[in-house]
Structure 1
Amino acid sequence: MLLVLVVTFMFLFPFLWMILASFKTQSQIMSKGSFLFFEPTFNNYKSVFAEYNYTKYIINSFVVGLLSTFFALVLGLPASYAIAKYKQHGLGLVILIARIIPGISFMIPWFIIFSKLNLADTYTSLILSHMLVGLPFIIWVMISFYENLPSELEEAARVDGCTIQSAFVRILLPLSSPGIITSSILAFIFSWNNFMFSLVLSGDKTKTLPIAVYSFMSYSEINWGGLMAAAVIITLPILVIALIMQRYIITGITAGAVKG
């Protein structure tokens, strides 16, 4: 029990420090004696939205995250079903390798391609680049779900007059909803926290939250209060989603891990 408390404290302490620092002035953050006892201020949060226009960055992050996850599901669910149905395990391995390859390997080619197509600093370039992370993950997670579903379900639907496509949409998709929820949530989180692709491909119009944090860092100083307030704003939506969907995530991961 003591070990659990120690490990929990080690994980929660940086988050606690971040929240407390977001309500402090610069001098209070630097002071050793004002960790818990200080006069809180909301100026950091006011400056985040009033001076740094964080509402725009939040909208950009939601647009990119939701659309990249949606299109990854549209492409990934049929692909994972086909791989599982026709036992294309070699193709599944190739997709897994694409997920393992460091994202930085794609940055320069993608920047050149999107620049030539005049797609730099657009939602299109960010959505496609974020799909590079979410799409292989969704496919790899969902393959195990479709492998575990009894083939008799599809055969019964075909006997009743369904095509392969309608059987997939009407029968198999609803049954695989735990995996869909789990993979889509995690893919959205990957997109929300993505830094590298946004750093290279985004601009003033499409800047996302992880890139906007740089606004609090300059050559001469770092605005720690504003930086911590911005970090809380970045973390809060993901934390809320994780807490609300925790049951579905655990169910989906467990169901996908059990075979037979």
Structure 2
Amino acid sequence: MKNNKKRLSTAVFYGVVIVMALVVLFPFLWMLASSFKTQLDVVAWPPKLFFTPTLQNYRKVFGEQDFLQYFLNSTVVATLAVGLSLALGLPAAYSISRFAQRRLGMFILLARLMPGISFLMPWYIVFSRLNLMDSYTALVLSHMLIALPIVVWIMSSYFDTIPRDMEESAMVDGATRQYAFFKIILPLSGPGIITATTLSFIFSWNNFMFSQVLSMEKTKTLPIAVYNFLSYAETDWGGVMAAAVAIMAPALILTMFFQRYVVKGLTMGAVKG
């Protein structure tokens, strides 16, 4: 009897997991399937579950569009934005954690909570006056509004979990606080740093709004590339889906590769003491 109940509960558990996974994965699977369909198959009703796959949409993305340049632009902008955010955010998060500067932490986090569109007009005026429109500088600084608060928010909580005794012991032996931070605290913060890097990179990689306003032909990023398949007369849904898959692929691979570190970093950052 107990075995039957155990089997039933196990079956119910896996059934619920499968249903939830299908609900979550359905949009992605639909997008992936549509990227291999012709325009007629994409808009067909009822939807075609069985169709002859084609690579024509991906040929448009990588052949007819300057997709590799968009990819390079997104890589440069996201990498620089995340790198500078780590350089500024890690010391800031350490200071917030060790000196209880919670008001400063809330002020930095406020930039992430505010709608991004509220920054567009000030950014546009400043960068246009400085002749920095369509430059990596403008995009990197604007993307840091996304990446820097994430780094500070995650790492300040993560530093709280590291006992103060470690750095205090080093300082008793003559080490400076800076030395203790770089040589003791940071090496122990690997999962948190990987978590902050991964999440801030993904948010920067997928950002559309800042790139739409501040970039032009020279610095267009990948999310803007989807716009090339939209027009007043017709929307090339197959091309849109193929471009979306190509845009999601790097972020998806990065997330899968660092998944266990991200989970560990978020879990440790959520537990104090």
Q: Normalized against structure 1, the TM-score is what?
A: 0.96
In structure 1, the residue matched to 2:191 is 178
Q: Does 1:219 align with 2:232?
A: yes
- Mapped to 1, the partners of 2:79 and 2:86 lie a distance apart of 11
- In the TM superposition, residue 257 of structure 1 has moved relative to its aligned partner by 0.6
Number of positions where the alignment pairs a residue of Structure 1 with one of Structure 2: 260
State percent identity of aligned pairs: 55
From 16, 25, 38, the equivalent of 2:51 is: 38
Q: Does 1:246 align with 2:246?
A: no
Query: Which blocks of at least 5 consecutive residues in structure 2 are unaligned?
Result: 1-12
Which moved further from structure 2: 30-39 or 12-21? 30-39
Equivalent position SS for 1:104 = helix
Structure 2 counterpart of 1:238, one-letter code:
A
From 139, 143, 167, the equivalent of 2:180 is: 167
- Mapped to 2, the partners of 1:33 and 1:167 lie a distance apart of 64
Which moved further from structure 2: 87-96 or 211-220? 87-96
- Mapped to 2, the partners of 1:8 and 1:35 lie a distance apart of 22
- Mapped to 1, the partners of 2:237 and 2:163 lie a distance apart of 55
Q: Does 1:129 align with 2:148?
A: no
Equivalent position SS for 1:136 = helix
Equivalent position SS for 1:32 = coil
- In the TM superposition, residue 34 of structure 1 has moved relative to its aligned partner by 6.3
- Mapped to 2, the partners of 1:234 and 1:201 lie a distance apart of 20
Structure 2 counterpart of 1:23, one-letter code:
F
In structure 2, the residue matched to 1:191 is 204
- Mapped to 2, the partners of 1:151 and 1:162 lie a distance apart of 14
Equivalent residues in 2 for 1:38-187, closer than 5 Å: 38-187=51-200
In structure 2, the residue matched to 1:23 is 36
Which moved further from structure 2: 176-185 or 87-96? 87-96
Query: Which blocks of at least 5 consecutive residues in structure 1 are unaligned?
Result: none
Structure 2 counterpart of 1:168, one-letter code:
F
- In the TM superposition, residue 165 of structure 1 has moved relative to its aligned partner by 1.1
Structure 2 counterpart of 1:144, one-letter code:
S
- Per-residue CA deviations over 1:114-155 (Å, capped at 9, x if unaligned) read 000111100111000000011011101111122221111112
In structure 2, the residue matched to 1:232 is 245
- In the TM superposition, residue 233 of structure 1 has moved relative to its aligned partner by 0.2
- Per-residue CA deviations over 1:229-259 (Å, capped at 9, x if unaligned) read 0010011111111111110000000010111
In structure 1, the residue matched to 2:10 is none
- In the TM superposition, residue 6 of structure 1 has moved relative to its aligned partner by 2.7
- In the TM superposition, residue 212 of structure 1 has moved relative to its aligned partner by 1.1
Determine which structure has more spread, i.e. the larger CA radius of gyration. 2
Structure 1 counterpart of 2:104, one-letter code:
L
Runs of 4 or more above 4 Å deviation: none
- Mapped to 1, the partners of 2:146 and 2:240 lie a distance apart of 26
- In the TM superposition, residue 7 of structure 1 has moved relative to its aligned partner by 2.6
- Mapped to 2, the partners of 1:62 and 1:125 lie a distance apart of 15
